[in-house]
Structure 1
Amino acid sequence: MAGNSDPLTPRAKLAVTAGKAVAAASRAAGRGSGSVIGGRVALKLDPDLLARLAQNLDVVLVSATNGKTTTTRLIAEALRAAGPVVSNALGANMPAGITSALAGGSEAKFGVIEVDEKYLAGVARDTDPKCIALLNLSRDQLDRAAETRMLAENWREGLAGSKAVIVANCDDPLVVWAASSSPNVIWVAAGQMWKDDAWSCPSCGGVMQRPGDDWFCGECGFRRPQPTWALSGDHVLDPHGSAWPIHLQLPGRANKANAASSAAVAAVFGVPPQVALERMYQVQAVAGRYDVVQFQNRDLRLLLAKNPAGWLETFSLIDPPPAPVILSVNARGADGTDTSWLWDVDYTRLTGHPIFVIGDRKLDLAVRLEVANQHFQVCENLDQAVQMCPPGRIEVIANYTAFQDLRRRVGN
């Protein structure tokens, strides 16, 4: 994987310099981190720049519908035990953002890269990864993303014959089908709460049988593979049967699953589970997610939920009733403009919580909550919602751009 000590051609160096200058100008103008626009400019000047930047790195790619930003952070933390890491830690996960991140890591040994599901095959071609982590696939951004089975097919074709070690969640049939085209797969039993995208067999279309934690297709015999790593309660079981305790500051079962997959990835690079899991304890919040902030003399916990599977996981970790809950939903470009996914979320799980609704699409959400027989109040903005909340820590759940709006408002 290692090439000469300086793989960058004069053109590539120019592209990196120009990209950094544009990014700095964008930051100075208050338009965010500048990583995407900087990466776009750099790739325009040298279309092969991503491949050049990756060629001296041991690359890990992480892709999924939910949990990829957190898992990327956990893997990066674990691999720092073995050398310097460069990563797109802020979640800019399309080629421009990835290029921008790698351009800042000239001394790194490892590149730990979160990749948007639609771009995985192309980024894998460019970066020649040593390992690819596939966590889950579920419905998301219905107006823009392909239907989940088409995404799985895209992964399956793009990863066929890949030299990378694939670390894949054996509890998600779509992920298993996608990974099965690869010769070298490590299966992790990481669980799957959301099953509504995996009732039909991705291989033949037959009905999936799901006895207990197992699954198989009664028609073609496609079935859950035997895992060598597994999440078991608060422990990760490694291939030797040893149980390693998970200590995280991040809440919820989903993050334990992310830690299990991350430990399996770290082991590919020779970092033992005990070391990897101890290092993961350092991660407190990921791009503001799970942060508890003070606002108007109240404690607010900020939680991101972008799609039905994500909302389901988030409901499982909020404080019990009568903890107040603020829900915020937008439908801007980065969210997907179609809000029909709200009807796939089981909002009856919020029964007993005082609910306050804000965001661009608060009326869409209000109709959905009305049908779910929930008691709620529609508010103009976060300030008004917080003022109306009864005592207790406030759980604030928002989708992507709504979450960014909240962070700006609370100064996080």
Structure 2
Amino acid sequence: MAGNSDPLTPRAKIAVTAGKAVAAASRAAGRGSGSVIGGRVALKLDPDLLARLAQNLDVVLVSATNGKTTTTRLIAEALRAAGPVVSNALGANMPAGITSALAGSSEARYGVIEVDEKYLAGVARDTDPKCIALLNLSRDQLDRAAETRMLAENWREGLAGSKAVIVANADDPLVVWAASSSPNVIWVAAGQMWKDDAWSCPSCGGVMQRPGDDWFCGECGFRRPTPSWALSGDHVLDPHGSAWPIHLQLPGRANKANAASSAAVAAVFGVPPQVALERMYQVQAVAGRYDVVQFQERDLRLLLAKNPAGWLETFSLIDPPPTPVILSVNARGADGTDTSWLWDVDYTRLSGHPICVIGDRKLDLAVRLEVANQQFQVCDNLDQAVQMSPHGRIEVIANYTAFQDLRRRVGN
């Protein structure tokens, strides 16, 4: 717990100081927050630094393909009811960024940490978490992360026998498979709109049966566990059967699901659902996501969608036709360079919306929209797309680096 004897060795203190200096220099040079480069330098000087920084904290790890940044924010808000929190709130979710975030606070009692799916097992080893939240697994960055089944296997092996309480989505078969190796799991019925990555059983490869909201493998008997927490409309049902209203400023069903998982995590730390959910209302936007900004005398709502599951959820958020939509797709290193996932997205859901297409891979997206019989215009940049969009608030949907480009352009 915080307040114990100082866990940092002289070497660790030098590493923290050097990391902060490098991060400050990076910020001064206009190269972003500096958290990643600062963390890399610090870990070079003391490879055990992450473990040292975490040892006086009650740590929560949050991992998923979609929703981890938002859920990390919601959990952090909820746990502030019980004490000071340190968190990598800006989404730098690999070991260097996590180390940098934890080095920024010596007073915290709780560490709420978003972790990239590939690094979860290693970060769990280093930080000895009290709780791990597993939300979903779906196709993302195909060239980088291989297939979802391999990621689920990595999670399963890495978390086997973990002392942590695992809070896991009972509706995602891949998450259930990954969490089932752990002795202490709290199942949450958080829902799953995107099912196309879990038609075969992760346990035996058999065909998954999906009657209604249930699922099971007809061959080996692997099945959906009975949840103790559940999202039910606009309420969270707790293990005692009480229904707690969800009031969020963040839009959509996916964020209600994130709130349900966050309430289950908060309860592990003794924060009651009512208190946790009330505090979650404070979160208005997460690293620019869902922000409404003024640009060229127009209102633009910025929405992030990085993969087929994320695009499906995002389409359910946007205002009905004829609301104009701008789509922006890049394929840089942080996005994954393989854009074949565009063919897995159902763009017929955009029928009736005037669409403008921008981004490095706008022509890939244009071909996809053409096949989906959508009406669209290809534009050179955001400025031109806004000028060509009809009146009304514009929904702007972008993948990861395209989203960062948009934020810089609109000054967000």
TM-score range normalised by the length of the shorter chain: over 0.9
How far, CA to CA, are the matches of 1:175 and 1:304 in structure 2?
23
How far, CA to CA, are the matches of 2:2 and 2:124 in structure 1?
17
Describe the SS at the equivalent of 1:357: strand
Deviates more, 1:141-150 or 1:268-277: 141-150
Does the CA-based 8 Å contact 1:64-1:134 persist in structure 2? yes
How far, CA to CA, are the matches of 1:116 and 1:168 in structure 2?
16
- What is the deviation of 1:214? 0.2
Does the CA-based 8 Å contact 2:305-2:398 persist in structure 1? yes
- Can you list the C-alpha shifts for 1:247-304, whole angstroms capped at 9, x where unaligned? 0000000000000000000000000000000000000000000000000000000000
How far, CA to CA, are the matches of 2:310 and 2:380 in structure 1?
25
- What is the deviation of 1:340? 0.5
Describe the SS at the equivalent of 1:144: helix
Describe the SS at the equivalent of 1:231: strand
Does the CA-based 8 Å contact 2:204-2:220 persist in structure 1? yes
Q: Report the equivalent of 2:352.
A: 352
Q: Report the equivalent of 1:320.
A: 320
How far, CA to CA, are the matches of 2:161 and 2:3 in structure 1?
23
Does the CA-based 8 Å contact 1:3-1:55 persist in structure 2? no
- What is the deviation of 1:334? 0.5
How far, CA to CA, are the matches of 1:175 and 1:314 in structure 2?
21
Q: Report the equivalent of 1:342.
A: 342
Does the CA-based 8 Å contact 2:85-2:108 persist in structure 1? yes
How far, CA to CA, are the matches of 2:316 and 2:290 in structure 1?
13
- Can you list the C-alpha shifts for 1:57-85, whole angstroms capped at 9, x where unaligned? 00000000000000000000000000000
- Can you list the C-alpha shifts for 1:194-236, whole angstroms capped at 9, x where unaligned? 0000000000000000000000000000000000000000000
Does the CA-based 8 Å contact 1:303-1:398 persist in structure 2? yes
Does the CA-based 8 Å contact 2:2-2:107 persist in structure 1? no
Does the CA-based 8 Å contact 1:94-1:116 persist in structure 2? yes
- What is the deviation of 1:4? 4.2
**Displacement over 2 Å in runs of 4+:** 1-4
Does the CA-based 8 Å contact 2:3-2:107 persist in structure 1? no
Q: Report the equivalent of 2:310.
A: 310
- Can you list the C-alpha shifts for 1:139-181, whole angstroms capped at 9, x where unaligned? 0000111200000000000000000000000000000000000
Does the CA-based 8 Å contact 1:121-1:155 persist in structure 2? yes
How far, CA to CA, are the matches of 1:172 and 1:195 in structure 2?
8
- What is the deviation of 1:3? 8.9
Does the CA-based 8 Å contact 1:133-1:261 persist in structure 2? yes
Does the CA-based 8 Å contact 2:2-2:109 persist in structure 1? no
How far, CA to CA, are the matches of 2:76 and 2:171 in structure 1?
24
Describe the SS at the equivalent of 2:141: coil
Describe the SS at the equivalent of 2:66: coil
Which 5+ residue runs of structure 2 have no aligned equivalent?
A: none
Does the CA-based 8 Å contact 1:133-1:168 persist in structure 2? yes
How far, CA to CA, are the matches of 2:213 and 2:27 in structure 1?
47
Task: Count residues with an aligned counterpart.
Answer: 412
How far, CA to CA, are the matches of 1:71 and 1:345 in structure 2?
24
- What is the deviation of 1:5? 1.8
Q: Sort the Cα spacing of 1:218 and 1:3 in 2 relative to 1 into closer, same or farther, 3 A.
A: farther
How far, CA to CA, are the matches of 1:146 and 1:106 in structure 2?
37
Does the CA-based 8 Å contact 1:247-1:278 persist in structure 2? yes
How far, CA to CA, are the matches of 1:239 and 1:327 in structure 2?
41
Describe the SS at the equivalent of 1:333: coil
Which 5+ residue runs of structure 1 have no aligned equivalent?
A: none
- Can you list the C-alpha shifts for 1:17-37, whole angstroms capped at 9, x where unaligned? 000000000000000000000
Alignment RMSD (CA, Å): 0.7
Does the CA-based 8 Å contact 2:64-2:137 persist in structure 1? yes
TM-score by length of 2: 0.99
How far, CA to CA, are the matches of 1:394 and 1:149 in structure 2?
37
How far, CA to CA, are the matches of 2:143 and 2:14 in structure 1?
38
2:406 is the counterpart of 1:406 = yes
- What is the deviation of 1:105? 1.3
How far, CA to CA, are the matches of 1:190 and 1:287 in structure 2?
23
- What is the deviation of 1:91? 0.1
Describe the SS at the equivalent of 1:397: strand
- What is the deviation of 1:87? 0.1
Q: Between the two proteins, what is the percent identity of the paired residues?
A: 96
How far, CA to CA, are the matches of 1:371 and 1:161 in structure 2?
48
How far, CA to CA, are the matches of 1:122 and 1:370 in structure 2?
43
Describe the SS at the equivalent of 2:294: strand
Does the CA-based 8 Å contact 1:326-1:385 persist in structure 2? yes
Does the CA-based 8 Å contact 1:79-1:266 persist in structure 2? yes
